[in-house]
Amino acid sequence: MGNDKDFGVVVLISGSGSNLQAIIDARLPISLRAVISNKANAYGLERARQAGIPTEVIDHRDYASRADFDAVLQQHIDHYQPELVVLAGFMRILTDGLVEHYRGRMINIHPSLLPKYRGTNTHARAIEAGDAVAGCSVHWVTPELDAGPVLLQAEVPIHPGDSADTLAARVLEQEHKIYPEAIRRIASGEIRWQQ
């Protein structure tokens, strides 16, 4: 492992993992140390295996509380001593304790032009509101949901006749460009947490 690979990254997923795939395919000068999913059937786990990245499943349903789940999740992440934790379609809200532990070291990609449409169902809400543009945002994770500082965004047009699915596909294409780019900039020191 060369020095350029010493920027350790752990990726958290819950589903398809197409953003994970984009990060793998970008061949960034980082070390993808592990992919952790809260869902055993997440297709992203298969993508990680194909790429030779260690995988772990921590099923939130095995824990009595969010705090219990997060304590175990934190232990497993810390085992890999990552410089950066990347949420890529990770669908569990994280408790303040875990988020504080990774303050300035955890990012998320969210499928809206934040601060618009925090939370879920972003595409349907943008169409319903009659917006002309939609997009995606990479942001630092802070305790308040989808409210941390934005570090990169991309816009796409909303076309007449768009459904949430057709819009989501257009936005996802941009996600696959800006998420690897955001990680590249953080790893190179071009972007850092300031607060």
Which entry of ligand NHR, ligand GAR, none binds 143, CB below 5 to 8 A by partner kind?
Answer: ligand NHR
Residue 121 interacts, among ligand GAR, ligand NHR, none and using kind-specific CB cut-offs from 5 to 8 Å, with none
Tell whether the torsion through CA atoms of 8, 11, 17 and 22 is positive or negative. Answer: negative
Min separation Cβ 195 and ligand GAR, Å: 22
Q: What tokens does 117 get?
A: 């449409």
In whole angstroms, the minimum distance from the beta carbon of 160 to ligand GAR comes to 22
Q: Is residue 123 flagged as an active site residue?
A: no
Residue 109 · residue 136 · CB < 8 Å:
yes
Kindly state the smallest distance separating residue 10's Cβ from ligand GAR, in Å: 15
Which secondary-structure segment (H or E) carries 139?
A: strand 133-140
Distance (Å, whole) CA 117 – CA 135: 11
Q: Find which of ligand GAR, ligand NHR, none residue 94 binds, CB within 5 to 8 Å per kind.
A: ligand NHR
Catalytic residue (choose from 110, 123, 139, 176): 110
Residue closest to 146 by CA, chosen among 195, 110, 100: 110
Q: Is the Cβ of residue 49 or residue 79 nearer to ligand GAR in the bound state?
A: 49
Interface with ligand GAR by CB under 6 A: which residues?
A: 13, 15-19, 44, 88-89, 91, 109-111, 120, 172, 175
Which residues of 14-115 form beta strands (DSSP E)?
A: 31-37, 55-57, 84-87, 106-110
The closest of 102, 118, 125, 174 to 150, measured between CA atoms, is: 118
Give the Cα separation of 91 and 110 in Å (integer): 11
Closest CB to ligand GAR among residues 75, 106: 106
Residues in contact with ligand NHR by CB under 6 A are: 87, 90-94, 99, 108, 110, 119-120, 141, 143, 145-146, 148
| 172 versus 183: smaller Cβ distance to ligand GAR | 172
User: Shortest approach of ligand GAR to residue 134 CB, angstroms?
Assistant: 11
Nearest to 18 by CA among 136, 160, 127, 185: 136
| 175, interface contact from ligand NHR, ligand GAR, none, CB < 5-8 Å by kind | ligand GAR
List, by residue number, the catalytic residues: 110
